[in-house]
A and B are shown apart, each in its own frame.
Chain A
């Protein structure tokens, strides 16, 4: 019997023997997306039509906005996209965060000069200076010694940042973060220092003491004072600095009004007062720390705005409503910044960081990380709507990833924060939690290491039984395979999303420091 005859016969026999089971297989799927068959094809055709309309905007950029989601790896983007969709009552997978609609995309290689998996200091240094640097160092070149604290040596090693170049070109500049404004990512735009943790002079004095050096040996300025004592061009251009980290700007003789804590500074400087006094006085400059004060700032009449809304980092988005003094959201801060910076006809450079995605991941707490990512997406949407894509380059990326993963074979629309439930083997059957080799359910989201590891010895179980556990609770810690006090960064590439002038230069697999070169090219520097 040749094969052309065997096949129809086999199909006929299969149909005969399968006949009694037909009603089961014919049942409607319990899990199903909202799309029709035609929708998939139509969606693809729409993508082609719209893609054909994309043109390479080769104009010079008037404005550049660099958004950095700290620790926002690709898995974080995917999970946040699904969570946002599910919060809007959809299955979630088909949702897009605002920046996922940008026309140009690349991958960014995040290693640094001396790290396979990097921290935020060299990665942001790469993005804003064009050079890869060393672990823990901000906008100095890789020949800088660890712990170098001589101001003159540091000056010779310093790398000019895109913010400083924008300032020299007469543009306005701004820095916004939900972390401390002195934290590595925002600080790399305006400071040059060999140790990222030297955010106030307190940390430098402690370093001297630990090294047995007389106090004052180190002449390099701390990060907070570098923000205030900027070069004349930066001082004039830096119109807005918004974030946390208030204690690093206050002397230790001053008690903070919100949290009853002494400031950090040993040198007696009150940097918020200096911000105002060195930038035209109260008629032109303002310092705010409450949301009500922030809301009252008129961008049209305020030239320089410093907002420090927490002693340390600002609240996670999940906890922001509970803040006693009120905190603006990242969207609020982005909006106000653009209103202030847009007054300059020569354009602006703005950096906006969602700094707490990273912290929530370090805590092994996926929901807080994802809610901060969703707020980040809203801030980007606001920026896109407030600017003209013809003259404003917007780049969205991350400094590094985290060991955060989306696992198993959950069905379409399965709660992204929930237990894995697969598509049932037969249509019509209900979904049920998938089981591991121990017979226990597991969550879709998890970490390779971190605090989410459960102590098997203490509990007498090889794995926790999550049956009935509310894994979608805001403070639920996803399981981790390796016990560590803090979950770690990851070394895989992160994504770069871009729109606006010269955004077509963002393509392929890029070295992270090339992001600077795209911005430089867009500005025409």
Chain B
């Protein structure tokens, strides 16, 4: 399940596309989604929650006991991955992300999917969700049929569904606010103080560490592992 969700999220955020007028991610958002998935045989996985908390220069997501905190500043974009069950954080400095060729556009991080992908999908009407107008876009990206209900004013999806040879994933917006309500699984101050933090640059010499071995198995094939190079700059 974790791997499937990880791959689904990796698919959400692609890299290297041109900016799009569809992306205005300046408004703060706290959005809770339900996440459902099924494999190629149609077998449903246990539903999960997905939280997105966005402010102007910070995007925090939480799912399945793991969080990602993206921050941007004058040095660039930095990432902290939080693994609550292991009381560990893995930190990626702007330079390390570049060295690892992980260079997502901020708009893609803050809106859960790349607006450039969205702009390529034909309009298929509109609807209202949580008092917001959502434009419906449907089409094919690669081998997948994609449906997006896109809240233009907030630059987030109210529904996002991809169906293809490997199965189906769907995010459905369940609650929406300007700031994270109490009880949200935000990374706590205590976690920031207490968890062991690992610099991603050190992972190469920590392969005798059980957590690092688990992490590398989990990351294989994802944007944090090998094999994903986005669009090579030509």
Residues of A within 8 A of B216 (CB): 484-486
Q: Are B94 and A473 in touch, CB under 8 angstroms? A: no
CB of A221 within 8 A of chain B? no
Cβ contact of A312, chosen from B91, B94, B220, B221, cutoff 8 A: B91
Contact B193 A466 (CB under 8 A): no
- Which of B91, B93, B202, B228 lies in contact with A455, CB distance below 8 A? B228
A315 to B, closest residue via Cβ = B95
Q: A475 to chain B: which residues have CB within 8 Å?
A: 98-99, 101, 103
Least CB distance, A222 to chain B, in whole angstroms = 12
Q: Are B75 and A324 in contact (CB under 8 A)?
A: yes
Residues 420-459 of A, flagged 1 when their CB comes within 8 A of B and 0 if not, give 0000000000000000000000000000001111110010
Rounded to whole Å, the gap between the CB of A58 and the closest CB of chain B is: 39
Q: What's the Cα separation between A315 and B75 when bound, in Å?
A: 10
Q: Which of A303-322 contact B (CB under 8 A)?
A: 310, 312-313, 315-316, 318-319, 322
Nearest CB in chain B: distance from A79 CB, A: 16
Q: Given known contacts A453-B226, A458-B227, is B196 in contact with A206 (CB within 8 Å)?
A: yes
178-234 of chain B: CB within 8 A of chain A? 192-194, 196-197, 199, 201-209, 216, 219-221, 224-229, 232-234
Which candidate, A7-15, A36-44, A151-159, A357-365, is the interface stretch facing chain B? A357-365
Contact (Cβ within 8 A) B193 A485: no
Closest CB in chain B relative to A459 CB, distance in Å? 9
A470 to B231, CA, bound (A): 11
Tell me which residues from 453 to 499 in chain A have a Cβ below 8 Å from any Cβ of chain B: 453-455, 458, 464, 466, 468-470, 473-477, 480, 483-489
B204 and A319 form a contact (CB under 8 A) = no
Interface membership of A252, Cβ < 8 A: yes
Is A93 close to B, CB under 8 A? no
Are A470 and B197 in contact, with the CB atoms below 8 A? no
Q: Which of A262, A313, A470 has a CB less than 8 Å from the CB of B199? A: A313
Q: Are B201 and A359 in contact (CB under 8 A)?
A: yes
Q: Is A485 touching B220 in the complex (CB atoms < 8 A)?
A: yes
Q: Which 9 pairs from chain A and chain B are nearest by CB?
A: A362-B204, A455-B227, A486-B204, A319-B95, A359-B201, A363-B99, A252-B193, A483-B226, A312-B199
Closest to B206 in A: A197
Asked if B100 is at the interface (CB within 8 A of a chain A CB), the reply is yes
Q: Which residues of A contact B39 (CB under 8 A)?
A: none
Q: B96 in the interface, Cβ–Cβ < 8 Å?
A: yes
Question: B-contacting residues of A (Cβ < 8 Å)?
Answer: 119-120, 135-136, 180, 184, 197, 202-203, 206, 247, 252-253, 261-262, 264, 266, 310, 312-313, 315-316, 318-319, 322-324, 356, 358-360, 362-363, 365, 368, 450-455, 458, 464, 466, 468-470, 473-477, 480, 483-489
Complex contacts, A318 vs chain B, CB 8 Å: 95
B74 within 8 A of A: yes
Q: Which residues of the other chain, B, contact A473 by a CB distance below 8 angstroms?
A: 233
Are A469 and B206 in contact, with the CB atoms below 8 A? no
One of A262, A322, A470 near B94 (C-beta < 8 A): A322
List of A residues within 8 angstroms of B93 by Cβ: 310, 312-313, 315
Which residues of B from 83 to 118 have beta carbons under 8 Å from A? 87, 91, 93-96, 98-101, 103
Q: Is B120 interfacial (CB 8 A cutoff)?
A: no
Q: Write the nearest CB–CB distance from B193 to chain A, whole angstroms.
A: 4
B76 at the interface (CB under 8 A from A): yes
Q: Is B201 a contact of A362 with CB atoms below 8 Å?
A: yes
List, in ascending order, chain A residues with CB within 8 A of B208's CB.
135-136
Cα distance, A96 to B87, chains bound together (Å): 48
Q: How far is the CB of B212 from chain A (nearest CB, A)?
A: 9
- List the interface of chain B (C-beta within 8 A of A): 73-76, 87, 91, 93-96, 98-101, 103, 192-194, 196-197, 199, 201-209, 216, 219-221, 224-229, 232-234
- Cβ-neighbour of B224 out of A261, A316, A319, A485 (below 8 A): A485
- For the complex, give the distance between the alpha carbons of A368 and B99 in Å: 7
| Given A135-B208, A365-B99, A455-B226: 8 more A-B contacts, CB < 8 Å | A206-B87, A318-B95, A322-B74, A322-B76, A453-B227, A454-B229, A473-B233, A476-B233
Q: Is the CB of B232 within 8 A of A469?
A: yes
The distance from the CB of B143 to the nearest CB of chain A, in whole angstroms, is 11
**B residues near A360, Cβ cutoff 8 Å:** 99
Query: Does A319 lie within 8 Å of B201, measured CB to CB?
Result: no
Given A203, A247, A261, A485, which contacts B226 in the complex, CB threshold below 8 Å? A485
A454: chain B residues within 8 A (beta carbon) = 227, 229
B201 to chain A, nearest CB (A): 4
CA distance A42 to B229 in the complex (A): 48
Minimum CB–CB distance from A182 to chain B (whole Å) comes to 11
Instruction: For A180, list chain B residues within 8 Å (CB).
Output: 199
B94, B219, B227 — most chain A CB neighbours (10 Å): B227
Inter-subunit contact A324/B101 (CB<8 Å): no
Across the interface, do A470 and B227 meet the contact criterion of CB distance under 8 Å?
A: no
Cα distance A318–B221 in the bound complex, in angstroms: 27
Would you call A469 and B94 a contact (CB within 8 A)? Answer: no
Chain B contacts for A202, CB-based, 8 A? 196
A57 to chain B, nearest CB (A): 37
Q: How far is the CA of A203 from the CA of B196 in the complex (A)?
A: 7
Residues of chain A within 8 A (CB-CB) of B204 are 358-359, 362, 486-488
Q: Is the CB of B219 within 8 A of A485?
A: yes
B197 CB to closest chain A CB, in angstroms?
7
Do A450 and B226 touch across chains, with their CB atoms under 8 A apart? yes
List, in ascending order, chain B residues with CB within 8 A of A485's CB: 203, 216, 219-220, 224-226
Residues of B within 8 A of A358 (CB): 204
The minimal Cβ–Cβ distance linking A52 to chain B, given in whole angstroms, is: 44
In whole angstroms, what is the CA distance A206 to B89 when docked?
Answer: 13
Q: How far is the CA of A120 from the CA of B206 in the complex (A)?
A: 11
Contacts of A120 in B (CB 8 A): 205
CA–CA, A489 to B204, complex, Å? Answer: 9
- B228, chain A: closest CB distance, angstroms: 7
* Known A-B contacts A316-B99, A319-B94, A362-B204; A455 and B194 likewise in contact (beta carbons under 8 Å): no
- Cα of A262 to Cα of B209 in the assembled complex, Å: 24
The 8 Å CB contact of A365, one of B100, B193, B219, is B100
In the complex, A358→B197 CA distance in Å?
Answer: 20
Contact assessment for A324 and B74 in the assembled complex, using a CB-CB cutoff below 8 Å = yes
| Chain B residues within an 8 Å CB radius of A484 | 216, 226
Residues in A neighbouring B194, C-beta threshold 8 A: 252, 266
Beta-carbon contact of B221 and A455 below 8 Å = yes
Chain B residues with Cβ under 8 A from A324's Cβ?
Answer: 73-75
Find chain A residues with CB under 8 A from B221 CB. Answer: 455
Nearest-Cβ distance from residue B41 to partner chain A, whole angstroms: 20
Docked pose: A313 CA to B202 CA in angstroms: 10
Give the distance in Å from the alpha carbon of A489 to the alpha carbon of B224 in the complex: 20
